[in-house]
Amino acid sequence: MVTGDSSYIKKFNRNIILQRIVEHGSISRADLSKITGLNKATISVQVADLLDSELIYETQQEHTSVGRRPILLSLNQKAGYVLGVDLDYKKIQYTISDLLGNPIMNEDIKFDTDDYHAILQLLIKQINLYKEKCPDSHYGLVGVVIGIHGTVNKDDQSVLFVPKYQWHNKDLKNDLLKEIDLPILIENNANLSTYAERVFYHHDCNNLLTLIISSGMGAGIMIDGELQRGYHGYAGEMGHMIVVPDGESCTCGNKGCWELYSTEPSLFKKIAIHQGQDLSYQKIKQLIKEQDKNTLADIEQFIKYLSIGINNIINIFNPETLVLTSEVLTMYPNAIEKIEMNLHSSVSQYNKIVLSKFHNRSCVMGACALAIQTFLEIPKLTLNPPEEK
């Protein structure tokens, strides 16, 4: 097994070197050797291979005070592109990014069906179109990752259940692979959002919890640097935690579930009672600015119930960082301070609660990042916050 072992080690070294190049942006061979502990000959051979494959390129440093100007190595971010997809209810977000996670195209497509086969055809048509439209590059479109607002089997990535569509046991990945010649991965949307927060913003946080309250209630849990999926992939269904005894009836069969009180759709419904019209984020922003009494009371109530659930999940997970993904909280003054004022217990411990900076695009950005990490085959991906084109 000597051959196997040596090729395994080569691959391992290649992946570590590439990971460090991505992480540092640009780095010399000498510094790579220092950081990885690999000798200069190994670095030299691996770097030559990576240059051959056009995954990296060399530049000479512009200014140094004395001595030779070192040659720096960087990832060739335009060597290929990835496609991230967020399959939400009657709306799909698509983002194409380069290999450093910078979006070069965002598109949101709405539709009016919940039929699995119709939506499957929409995905096939659109993904194949993006494959053709992808900018000219050495590798072209290298992978697709699709976020599902439901549970995904952690072993074979089949879709177990999507509540809003009422889909059970759909083999979406293989149905797509019959018509699309690209690597495809399927993952839960909240897991992708959590992964995005870690890749782009919270690089050193290993105990990270993300709550997506912008559509349904989704939670992504990262413990010791690993996403938690549970026995079959059902972990993180916190929206059905009961926070109000004998409260409102939920589609799950219980009463008083958290997501009936603490998601943006539930808040929109309450504000619509006195606004009596179709609401948009823009409209809510305006109502906040005008200090509309009813709207402010609804948001305060929303924050109160949100805090009850947050208190409970902090007690369960003891997160270092809790990220909330919500446009309404982002536009509401002092939202985080108000939530923290409701967390009195000396037992619930966390380091910080922050708002997501992705503006409802954390799932697609996580999808792009996962496609990049899979293509580059690196053990950990660290990127700068995405720059819009």
Strands 218-223 and 167-170: unpaired
* Closest alpha carbon to 329 in 286, 289, 291, 299: 299
Phi then psi dihedrals of residue 220, to 5 deg: -115, 135
Q: Counting contacts by CB under 5 A, is residue 244 touching Zn ion? A: no
How far apart are CB 217 and Zn ion at their closest, in Å?
Answer: 9
- Measured from the CB atom, the residue of 107 and 248 that comes closer to Zn ion is 248
Listed ranges 41-49, 250-258, 265-273, 356-364: which one lies at the site for Zn ion (CB under 5 A): 250-258
Q: Of residues 141-170, which lie at the interface with Zn ion (CB under 5 A)?
A: none
How far apart are CB 238 and Zn ion at their closest, in Å?
Answer: 10
Among 71, 104, 180, 250, binds Zn ion (CB under 5 A): 250
Phi then psi dihedrals of residue 387, to 5 deg: -100, 135
- Measured from the CB atom, the residue of 121 and 254 that comes closer to Zn ion is 254
- Measured from the CB atom, the residue of 184 and 306 that comes closer to Zn ion is 306
Q: Counting contacts by CB under 5 A, is residue 92 touching Zn ion? A: no
How far apart are CB 262 and Zn ion at their closest, in Å?
Answer: 12
Q: What would the x/- binding string for Zn ion be over residues 252 to 291, using CB under 5 A?
A: x-x--x----------------------------------
Is the separation of the CB atoms in 48 and 68 below 8 Å?
no
DSSP 240: G
CA–CA dist 71, 61 (Å, integer): 6
Q: If you search the block for the tokens 């079959």, which residue do you land on? A: 232
* Closest alpha carbon to 99 in 71, 42, 137: 137
How far apart are CB 263 and Zn ion at their closest, in Å?
Answer: 11
* Closest alpha carbon to 209 in 317, 364, 328: 317
- Measured from the CB atom, the residue of 118 and 252 that comes closer to Zn ion is 252
Integer CA distances (angstroms), 365 to 100, 177, 259, 297, 387, in order: 11, 22, 24, 33, 11
- Measured from the CB atom, the residue of 240 and 283 that comes closer to Zn ion is 240
Q: Counting contacts by CB under 5 A, is residue 240 touching Zn ion? A: yes
Residues that bind Zn ion (CB under 5 A): 240, 250, 252, 254, 257
